[in-house]
Amino acid sequence: MLSTHAPPSLIKPLFFFNFSPSFSTLSATLSPVPPVKLLRFRHCRFSIHTLIAMSAAKSNATGYSSLEHVAGSWYSVPDLRLRDHRFTVPLDYKDREASPKISIFAREVVSVGKEEQPLPYLLYLQGGPGFECPRPTEASGWIQKACEEFRVILMDQRGTGLSTPLTPSSMQQMKSAQNLVDYLKHFRADNIVNDAEFIRVRLVPDARPWTVLGQSYGGFCGVTYLSFAPQGLKQVLLTGGIPPIGDGCTADAVYRACFEQVVHQNEKYYKRFPQDVEIIRDVVTYLAESEGGGAPLPSGGILTPKGLQFLGLSGLGSSAGFERLHYLFERVWDPILVPGAQKQISSYFLNGYESWLSFDTNPLYAILHESIYCQGASSRWSAHRVRADHDSKFDAIKAAKEGRPILFTGEMIFPWMFEEFHVLRPFKDAAHLLAEKEDWSPLYDIAALKNNKVPVAAAVYYEDMYVNFKLVMETASQIGGIRLWITNEYMHSGLRDGGGQVFEHLLGMLNGKKPLF
């Protein structure tokens, strides 16, 4: 995001790098890239006759069972035409026949009048983990730009949206924490890519390769796609989503690097809103001195100083986050209507706090968050361990007593959340088992990435609080032929905030509209 109050040092360069797999260090070259080929909505009812006809046609044309793919009729939102698809896929692709089946939902989107045109396909992979795709309400932003030349597929990743969603209530059907872990282990990037390939060969004519656009965690999935199924890819666009790819668990390295950027973002926030230093310090003192160490939350659970710091997840790293955080604290206290009435945190603030969290609708984000960094090793509550090394800065109660600014935390999940947040309590045991799990399957193949022949363009946001710049550059040096656009004009949410500009820029880097150097 281009900040409306950008510091004087703001830069807007367009740096292009071509990485050669034969070099281990980053280098800017003048050689050309190798010539390789790269809100809610009202659900429409299906026409049963249409479903049967379309499914039968698909079965006859491809040889796949109609039970594996059911397509709906076209419907409209302003300037767009949409069609829903449901695919029945195995929970475990390693044992396809015996595995239980789950449903994967994907929405096909085209510009009005282009329903029957032979457009190339573009698959969008949403950020997360554990979040569904956007629900278009009109032609706008990157979707509008993409629909100028693509047939866009918005796939709800397994466990989200309409893809056999794992909600707080549905997961409680599991009889034990271990049963839940055995189920959840199939919901990482490797199987998201398996689902994408399952869909591609059934949906795209002649099973041709498609373009993939991955935002944030969706970019992580895109790199997994490059590792294990490059035959399905025509080109890949990554926005704020290049993962660390080392063996074992890379979470420790991620959080060590991210804590540094989080401190920087806190400094920028308080420079923008210095009046909030005292307000937030007073809130921390109030919470620490309250009975039970915090204030009861409307949906259950308790707001503690540590929980208050969690507001940094959304407030420090996304567009308008600083402003939203400041306005939330404007109404943190109830007014004193009766002399002598007890000071208390307002219901407005407590409800606003919970609205910033999405654990009630998207619990997978908390439960699976650290596992996205694991390959054959456990995370052992990485963020919690790394934070202990920074307690001198992030101990909120100590900072309040010493008169220092309270530092918010960033994209980190901690074990205490499964006690303090009511909706996560039933999954405490499963979360601990996942944190200790060691036998995670591989997510990346470094040798395959070094020999990559799929055109890849990536937007790298210089001050990204969620995906560390230094770690991004280390990984990029291992992906053959990747081209980078490095900028601090946008933050992590650049794809959403920049309209179609980020998408258009990345596509231009691969189709010859942008210079090679």
Active-site residues: which are they? Answer: 216, 439, 492
Q: Name the residue with tokens 């004087």.
A: 8
Joined tokens for residue 251: 């979470």
The rounded distance, in Å, linking the Cα atoms of 357 and 294 is 17
Residue 127 CA to its chain's centroid (Å): 2
The rounded distance, in Å, linking the Cα atoms of 414 and 217 is 19
Joined tokens for residue 54: 């379309």
What residues contact residue 372 under an 8 Å CB cut-off, 6+ apart?
129, 188, 189, 217, 220, 243, 443
Residue 473 CA to its chain's centroid (Å): 19
Joined tokens for residue 302: 């308790």
Residue 57 CA to its chain's centroid (Å): 35
Question: Which of 216, 407, 393, 381 minimizes the C-alpha distance to 316?
Answer: 407
Q: Burial level of 37, CB count in 10 A (0-12/13-18/19+)?
A: exposed
Residue 398 CA to its chain's centroid (Å): 33
Question: Which of 160, 123, 219, 142 minimizes the C-alpha distance to 467?
Answer: 219
The rounded distance, in Å, linking the Cα atoms of 362 and 167 is 7
Cα–Cα separations (whole angstroms), residue 395 to 213, 366, 392, 399: 39, 22, 6, 6
The rounded distance, in Å, linking the Cα atoms of 480 and 61 is 36
Residue 152 CA to its chain's centroid (Å): 19
What DSSP state is assigned to residue 188?
A: S
Q: Please, are residues 331 and 346 in contact by the beta-carbon 8 Å criterion?
A: yes
Q: 279 — alpha (psi -120 to 50), left (phi > 0) or beta?
A: alpha
Look at the chain and count its residues: 517
